[in-house]
C-alpha cells in the first residue's frame, strides 16, 4: 500500500480530501498532513511517504520550495502538485523539479485517484526494475558504471595520497561525476547476502544513490557496500547521510535482512580525509556489532563505549526499555521481556534467571545515569534477593529494585534528560501543547540535525517522532476528557491542535472512538458542556 502525505494551507481542502477520498480502497494510506511546507518537510522525513500531494501557494514555505527540499533529501518520493493556479511558470518549475503530476483545483475524487494510480504505477515499475536481475546484468555490463564504482572503492582503502586522490577526481570528472563538495560522510552498509541476493541489494542501493541527483555514490565492498555522501556544509552532509540511510534500510532488497547495519562515519571537510570518515564508520560497525539493540542505523556520535557486563550478555534491550520508563510500567515491561525470553529459552527457570540478571544490571545502569553510585543508591538486600532468592520472592525483589532505581533517577532529575532522546522527551512533555512545534525545533533543542535526530529517536523509542508526539497529545486529551468538562474544541487547542476536526479525526484513528464517545464511556465522566 502506497503511503501519501498531504500538504495544503486550507483546512477545508485537507479535511475534504482526508474524509471523502477512499484511500484504503484505492490502495493508499494517508500517513500525515500539514498546512505548510515548513511544517511538512520534517514530518515527511519522519514518515517516509511514497507520494507527496501538495499545494503551491502556502505561507512560510511554499509548495515549490517544499518540492525542492524533498527532491534534495528524498528524491525517490513521487510528487503530485494540486494547485488552484493555471500558471505556465509554475508548470515549468514543476517539470524542473521532477514533479510527476500537476493537477488543477477543483479536482474530483476520480481525477485524483487516476493521478495517484499513475504515480503509484510509475513508482512500482521503478522498484520492479531495481529488483530485476536483467536490469542488474545490464548495469554490471556497463563498463562506465563498473569503472566508476571501482574508482570509488579505491577511496575506501587504508592508504592513499593526495596525488592519487587528485587523479581519481579527474578520472571521475571525465565520466561526468563531480566529487567536489564542502563536506563528506561515509556510510558503511553491512548485510549478509550472498551471490545474486547481494548483487540485487547493491543494485538497489546504486539506484537509490542515482536518484539522489549526485549527492550520494555507492560501491560494493566485501561485507556489503559503502556510500559516499556529499554535502554543502556539515549539517547538510549529515542530513543527507541519515536520509539516505533511512531510505536504504526500507528498500525491499534490504529491509528483510535481520543483520542489516548502516553505520555513519564522521563528517569531514577535506576530500583527502574521506578515508578517516570511512575508518570511523567501520569502527562504529565493529563496536556496535551484536549489541545495537535492534538499531539498524547508528552514527559515530552514538556509540556507548561503556564496557559492562550488560554489553557482554547482550541484555541492553531491557535497559533501553526501562531507562525512560515510569515506575508504573515496570511490571508490564518485565512481563513482556519474560515472554520474549520464554519463547527462546529451553526452560522457564533459565529464562527467569536471565531476566533477573538483566534487571539488576539495568537498575545499576539507571542509577549510574542519574549520577550516583549503585552501592549507595540500591539496597544490598534487594540486590541479593533479586539474584538469589526463590523465583517468586526473587521477582518481587526485582520489581522493588527497579522501582528504587527509577525513583532515584527521578529524584535526581538525570538519566531521562542526559541523552538526546531523553532530553527530547523532557522537552516534549513541556511543549507538546504548542501547535507550531516541529521536529526541527526539538532536534535543535538537543543539538542534532533533523534527519539524525529523527533516526535516533525512532530507533530508541520504537516509533517515529510524529507518532510519539501524536500519542502524547492524545494521551493528554484523554486525561482532559475524563477529568474536565471542557469542550472537544477546547481540548484540541489545549493539547496542540488548532483544527478541532483534525483532532477528532486523529483521536478516533488512535482510540477507535470519538472524543464524545470516549467521555461517555468513562466511569468518572464529568458534566459536559458540549452541544
d(CA 389, CA 386): 6
Average pLDDT over residues 323-341: 73
Does residue 289 sit within a domain? yes
Reported as a single tens digit per residue, the pLDDT across 259-305 is: 788 999 999 998 888 988 988 888 777 766 654 445 578 887 665 43
Q: What is the separation of C-alpha 34 from the centre of its chain, rounded to a whole number of angstroms?
A: 18
Q: State which residues form the domain around 391.
A: 325-412
Per-residue pLDDT, 135: 53
Q: Are residues 109 and 9 in the same domain?
A: yes
pLDDT band at 252 (very low <50, low <70, confident <90, very high): confident
pLDDT band at 145 (very low <50, low <70, confident <90, very high): low
Beta-sheet strands, E only, within 354-500 = none
Per-residue pLDDT, 87: 61
Cell reading at 352:
527467569
Reported as a single tens digit per residue, the pLDDT across 513-526 is: 899 888 888 755 44
Average pLDDT over residues 439-468: 84
Per-residue pLDDT, 5: 94
- Helices 450-461 and 37-47, axial angle in degrees (round to 10): 40
Reported as a single tens digit per residue, the pLDDT across 367-404 is: 877 778 888 888 888 888 888 788 788 889 999 999 99
pTM of the model: 0.51
Does residue 309 sit within a domain? no
Asked whether the beta carbons of 326 and 406 are under 8 A apart, the reply is yes
Does residue 8 sit within a domain? yes
Asked whether the beta carbons of 144 and 175 are under 8 A apart, the reply is yes
CATH number of the domain bearing residue 96: 3.40.50.2300
Does residue 311 sit within a domain? no
Q: Are residues 189 and 291 in the same domain?
A: yes
- What count of other Cβ atoms lies within 10 Å of the Cβ of residue 299? 25
Does residue 307 sit within a domain? no
Q: Are residues 285 and 205 in the same domain?
A: yes
Q: Are residues 281 and 166 in the same domain?
A: yes
- What's the total number of domains in the chain? 4
pLDDT band at 162 (very low <50, low <70, confident <90, very high): confident
- What count of other Cβ atoms lies within 10 Å of the Cβ of residue 467? 17
Q: Are residues 215 and 92 in the same domain?
A: no
Q: Are residues 276 and 257 in the same domain?
A: yes
Residue that wins the pLDDT comparison between 115 and 315: 115
Q: Mark which of 363, 387, 412 sits at the end of a domain.
A: 412
Does residue 320 sit within a domain? no
The CA–CA distances, whole Å, from 525 to 63, 463, 473, 511 equal: 44, 31, 20, 17
Asked whether the beta carbons of 77 and 52 are under 8 A apart, the reply is yes
Does residue 530 sit within a domain? no
d(CA 345, CA 363): 23
Q: Is residue 310 scored above 50 in pLDDT?
A: no
Q: Are residues 496 and 383 in the same domain?
A: no
Q: Are residues 168 and 262 in the same domain?
A: yes
Q: Are residues 442 and 478 in the same domain?
A: yes
Per-residue pLDDT, 531: 39
Q: Are residues 503 and 430 in the same domain?
A: yes
Q: Is residue 171 scored above 90 in pLDDT?
A: no
Q: Are residues 155 and 294 in the same domain?
A: yes
Q: Are residues 298 and 359 in the same domain?
A: no
Q: Mark which of 95, 110, 131 sits at the end of a domain.
A: 131
Does residue 318 sit within a domain? no
- What count of other Cβ atoms lies within 10 Å of the Cβ of residue 340? 14
For 207-235, the three-class secondary structure string (H helix, E strand, C coil) is: HHHHCCCCCEEEEEECCEEEEEEEECCHH
Q: Mark which of 302, 335, 361 sits at the end of a domain.
A: 302
d(CA 46, CA 30): 14
**Cα 124–130–214 angle (5° rounding)?**
105
Asked whether the beta carbons of 99 and 82 are under 8 A apart, the reply is no
Amino acid at each position: 500500500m502506497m503511503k501519501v502525505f498531504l500538504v495544503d494551507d486550507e483546512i477545508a481542502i485537507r479535511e475534504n480530501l482526508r474524509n471523502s477520498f477512499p484511500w484504503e480502497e484505492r490502495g493508499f494510506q494517508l500517513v500525515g498532513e500539514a498546512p505548510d511546507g515548513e511544517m511538512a518537510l520534517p514530518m515527511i522525513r519522519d514518515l517516509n511517504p511514497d507520494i507527496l500531494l501538495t499545494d503551491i501557494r502556502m505561507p512560510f514555505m511554499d509548495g515549490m520550495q517544499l518540492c525542492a527540499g524533498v527532491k534534495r533529501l528524498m528524491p525517490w518520493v513521487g510528487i503530485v502538485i494540486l494547485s488552484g493556479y493555471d500558471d505556465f511558470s509554475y508548470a515549468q518549475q514543476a517539470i524542473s523539479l521532477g514533479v510527476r503530476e500537476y493537477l488543477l483545483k477543483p479536482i474530483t475524487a476520480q481525477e485524483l485517484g487516476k493521478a495517484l494510480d499513475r504515480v503509484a504505477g510509475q513508482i512500482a515499475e521503478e522498484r520492479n526494475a531495481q529488483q530485476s536481475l536483467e536490469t542488474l546484468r545490464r548495469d554490471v555490463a556497463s563498463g562506465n558504471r563498473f569503472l566508476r564504482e571501482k574508482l570509488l572503492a579505491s577511496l575506501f582503502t587504508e592508504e592513499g595520497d593526495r596525488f592519487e586522490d587528485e587523479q581519481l577526481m579527474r578520472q571521475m570528472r571525465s565520466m561526468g561525476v563531480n566529487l567536489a563538495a564542502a563536506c563528506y560522510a561515509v556510510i558503511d552498509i553491512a548485510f549478509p547476502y550472498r551471490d545474486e541476493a547481494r548483487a540485487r541489494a547493491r543494485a538497489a542501493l546504486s539506484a537509490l544513490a542515482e536518484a539522489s541527483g549526485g549527492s550520494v555514490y555507492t560501491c560494493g565492498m566485501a561485507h556489503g557496500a559503502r556510500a559516499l555522501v556529499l554535502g554543502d556544509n556539515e549539517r547538510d552532509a549529515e542530513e543527507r547521510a541519515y536520509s539516505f540511510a533511512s531510505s536504504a534500510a526500507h528498500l525491499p532488497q534490504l529491509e528483510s535482512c535481520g543483520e542489516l547495519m548502516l553505520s555513519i562515519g564522521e563528517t569531514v571537510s577535506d576530500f583527502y580525509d574521506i578515508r578517516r570518515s570511512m575508518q570511523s564508520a567501520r569502527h562504529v560497525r565493529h563496536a556496535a556489532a551484536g549489541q545495537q539493540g535492534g538499531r539498524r542505523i547508528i552514527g559515530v556520535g552514538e556509540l556507548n563505549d561503556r564496557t559492562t557486563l550488560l554489553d557482554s550478555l547482550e541484555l541492553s534491550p531491557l535497559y533501553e526499555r526501562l531507562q525512560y520508563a515510569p515506575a508504573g510500567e515496570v511490571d508490564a515491561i518485565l512481563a513482556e521481556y519474560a515472554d520474549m525470553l520464554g519463547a527462546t529459552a529451553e526452560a522457564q527457570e533459565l529464562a527467569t534467571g536471565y531476566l533477573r540478571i538483566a534487571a539488576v544490571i539495568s537498575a545499576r545502569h539507571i542509577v549510574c545515569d542519574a549520577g550516583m553510585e549503585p552501592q549507595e543508591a540500591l539496597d544490598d538486600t534487594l540486590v541479593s534477593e533479586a539474584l538469589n532468592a526463590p523465583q517468586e520472592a526473587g521477582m518481587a525483589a526485582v520489581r522493588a529494585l527497579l522501582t528504587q532505581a527509577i525513583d532515584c533517577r527521578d529524584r535526581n532529575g538525570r538519566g531521562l534528560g542526559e541523552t538526546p532522546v531523553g532530553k527530547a522527551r523532557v522537552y516534549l512533555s513541556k511543549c507538546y501543547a504548542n501547535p507550531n512545534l516541529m521536529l526541527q525545533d526539538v532536534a535543535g533543542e538537543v543539538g542534532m540535525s533533523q534527519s539524525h535526530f529523527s533516526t535516533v529517536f525512532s530507533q530508541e523509542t520504537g516509533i517515529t517522532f510524529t507518532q510519539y508526539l501524536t500519542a502524547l497529545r492524545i494521551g493528554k486529551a484523554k486525561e482532559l476528557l475524563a477529568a474536565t468538562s471542557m469542550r472537544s474544541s477546547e481540548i484540541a487547542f489545549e493539547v496542540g491542535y488548532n483544527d478541532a476536526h483534525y483532532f477528532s479525526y486523529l483521536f478516533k484513528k488512535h482510540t477507535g472512538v470519538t472524543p464524545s464517545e470516549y467521555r461517555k464511556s468513562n466511569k468518572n465522566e464529568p458534566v459536559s458542556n458540549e452541544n
